[in-house]
């Protein structure tokens, strides 16, 4: 039994879900292994994400634990059968594993819910805006153009034949921070309007005037995947990328996003006639900022 020397977030998540089902059923690792003719150490490695488990054994294990949620079992089988060899594997030598894990997570997504306080979400950025962010970073990339290219390739999920839905809430502050200068920001804001024309993309602006919410709460990305059978929250911390998978821990982020969405201006809707934008909404705000950038 060859063990992986390093594990991806997908592999760790699969193992963690199997361990959670076992513990909820009240079985030990030894007892769990007996259900599928697997030794204690072997199942321990599966639960740690260090080795694979055949689909048939995985299904038997889940059923033995009393799991009746077939969508969840199907999702776990899909995770186990996934080779993990997507377009992002070409970047293994130049980018860190957490960055690659994000691309793999997005590739499996059914729906993305993003909140950003100081930046435009990565999947909605223009190349020059991204480049400016990387150049201003305290930890610049060794290969800046390679990093920019990677972020642009991540955006392909939004234009593929069956894209995930994306609902992005962007704090108004992110629209004022001029990464790359006025011209770059103007093109970035115009790009947001163009992306909002896609039927599966919803973009809202959380204004400075929003009440009842902290001005700059921690940005996060909530991901539904595998037919929404699995939920994952990604939180960017200065020291590390944190993945939140436990349902009790995910729930506050779901609630948080609902509050942010409710406090935000109505979504960008370029198809709505201009006369309807007399009231303040996300599109009217962006158009105002774009006008000001022309004067800068």
So what's the pLDDT on residue 145? 93
Phi first, then psi, for residue 167 (nearest 5°) are: -120, 110
Average pLDDT, the chain: 90
Q: Give alpha helix (H) positions in the chain.
A: 9-25, 29-35, 40-47, 55-64, 70-81, 97-107, 127-136, 144-154, 172-176, 182-195, 247-263, 282-295
Second CATH level (architecture) for the domain 87-295? 2-Layer Sandwich (3.30)
More reliable by pLDDT, 151 or 270: 151
List strand residue ranges (DSSP E) for the chain, in order.
Answer: 109-116, 165-171, 201-206, 220-225, 230-236, 241-244
Per-residue pLDDT tens digits for 147-183: 999 999 999 999 999 999 999 999 999 999 989 999 9
Question: Cβ(151)–Cβ(103) under 8 Å?
Answer: no
The stretch 253-262 carries a mean pLDDT of 94
Nearest residue to 81 (alpha-carbon basis) of 100, 108, 41: 108
So what's the pLDDT on residue 86? 94
Domain boundaries defined on the chain: 9-81, 87-295
Extract the tokens encoding 138. Answer: 């305290």
In DSSP notation, 210-266 reads --SS-TTPPPEEEEEETTTTEEEEEEE-SS-EEEE--HHHHHHHHHHHHHHHHHSPP
Question: Where does 9-81 sit in CATH, by number?
Answer: 1.10.260.40
So what's the pLDDT on residue 11? 96
DSSP state, 3? P
Residue 270 has pLDDT above 80, yes or no: no
More reliable by pLDDT, 195 or 273: 195
What distance, in Å, lies between the first and last C-alpha atoms of the chain?
Answer: 63
User: Distance between CA atoms of 120 and 130, rounded to whole angstroms?
Assistant: 9
Question: Cβ(220)–Cβ(234) under 8 Å?
Answer: yes
Per-residue pLDDT tens digits for 209-225: 887 676 567 899 999 99
């Amino acid at each position: 039994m060859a063990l992986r020397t390093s594990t991806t977030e997908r592999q760790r998540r699969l193992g963690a879900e199997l361990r959670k089902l076992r513990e909820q059923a009240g079985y030990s690792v030894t007892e769990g292994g007996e259900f599928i003719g697997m030794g204690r150490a072997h199942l321990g490695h599966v639960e740690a994400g260090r080795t694979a488990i055949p689909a048939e054994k995985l299904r038997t294990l889940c059923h033995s634990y009393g799991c009746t949620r077939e969508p969840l079992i199907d999702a776990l089988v899909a995770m186990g059968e996934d080779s993990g060899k997507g377009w992002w594997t070409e970047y293994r030598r130049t980018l860190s594993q957490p960055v690659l894990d994000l691309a793999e997570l997005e590739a499996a997504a059914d729906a993305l819910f993003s909140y950003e306080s100081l930046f435009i979400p990565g999947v909605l950025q223009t190349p020059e805006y991204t480049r400016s962010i990387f150049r201003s970073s305290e930890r610049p990339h060794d290969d800046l153009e390679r990093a920019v290219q990677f972020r642009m390739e991540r955006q392909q999920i939004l234009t593929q034949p069956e894209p995930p839905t994306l609902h992005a809430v962007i704090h108004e502050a992110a629209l004022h921070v001029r990464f790359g200068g006025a011209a770059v920001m103007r093109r970035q804001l115009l790009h947001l309007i163009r992306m909002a024309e896609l039927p599966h993309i919803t973009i809202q602006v959380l204004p400075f005037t929003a009440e009842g919410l902290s001005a700059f709460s921690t940005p996060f990305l909530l991901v539904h995947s595998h037919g929404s059978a699995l939920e994952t929250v990604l939180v960017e911390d200065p020291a590390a990328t944190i993945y939140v998978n436990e349902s009790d821990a995910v729930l506050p982020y779901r609630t948080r996003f609902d509050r942010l969405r409710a406090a935000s201006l109505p979504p960008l809707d370029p198809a709505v006639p201009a006369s309807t934008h007399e009231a303040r909404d996300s599109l009217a705000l962006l158009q105002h900022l774009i006008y000001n950038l022309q004067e800068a």
